[in-house]
Structure 1
Amino acid sequence: MKKAFRVKDNKEFQAIFKSGKSFANRQLVIYYREVPDQQHFRVGLSVGKKIGNAVTRNRIKRYLRQGFLELEENIKSHYDIVIIARRPTKDMEFYEIKKSLTHLLMKERLLKK
């Protein structure tokens, strides 16, 4: 995923948390807000230190990025999305994380039909 499609600035994260909507399942929490003049969705990832060491946290972020990359053409384009990983993701494989991510996106209707 290109760096232009990532939410990196703390102000942007805070704006999404403050004015966006949220939904969660056991593994992931999603915050999102609509940005009408945006051409492509943007993604921010957050994996806390309680989940594991740096290797584990980076593996989870890599899996989440790859999941978004595979779902890229199905995700609605005018949204900023922040994903927060919860503890159960520590022991999950890629396909499980992708399934959980797809579940969240479908529930919140961020996927195109």
Structure 2
Amino acid sequence: MLRKANRLKKQRDFKKVYNRGRSYVSDLFVMYVYHTGTPAVLCGFSISRKVSKACARNLIRRRASEALRDIVTRLRPGTHLVFVARKDAAGADFGEISRCLHSLLKKAGLEQC
């Protein structure tokens, strides 16, 4: 799980990232990126109700959060990220989710090292 200091929580923050941020698309996730002046990297997750069971939505959220836990320290400071899971993410295992998130971050040019 991500540390509490790295979680995006408030609805207004999610809306700001959606409206002002740039989006990057993969087969499992859509990532929205918004650069701010803050020193922290904040991440949030949104899983559609098209993924029918709450258990499956929570599993996607936990796997994605765990995949980002170690990566978040290497990201460019002052970035807010929102990951929107697509329906196909429900059938993906941890390795697939991790590779997908890593490729999205590379595509956006957010990794420092």
Runs of 4+ with deviation above 4 angstroms: none
Q: Which residue of 1 aligns with 2:79?
A: 79
Deviation, structure 1 residue 72: 2.2
Cα pair 1:47 1:86 within 8 Å, conserved = yes
One-letter identity of the residue aligned with 1:89: A
Identity %: 25
One-letter identity of the residue aligned with 1:83: F
Cα pair 1:44 1:83 within 8 Å, conserved = yes
Q: Which residue of 2 aligns with 1:12?
A: 13
Compute the TM-score of the two structures, normalised by the length of structure 1: 0.94
State the aligned residue count: 112
Q: Which residue of 2 aligns with 1:106?
A: 106
Q: Residues of 2 paired with 1:70 and 1:92: CA distance?
A: 20
Structure 1: segments with no counterpart, 5+ residues: none
- Residues 27-83 of structure 1: CA deviation (Å, up to 9, x unaligned): 1000011012x1220001000111130110000000111011021222112100000
Cα pair 2:36 2:78 within 8 Å, conserved = yes
One-letter identity of the residue aligned with 1:71: I
Q: Residues of 1 paired with 2:42 and 2:57: CA distance?
A: 20
Cα pair 1:52 1:90 within 8 Å, conserved = no
Compute the TM-score of the two structures, normalised by the length of structure 2: 0.94
Structure 2: segments with no counterpart, 5+ residues: none
Q: Residues of 2 paired with 1:20 and 1:47: CA distance?
A: 18
Residue 70 of structure 2 aligns to a residue in which SS?
Answer: helix
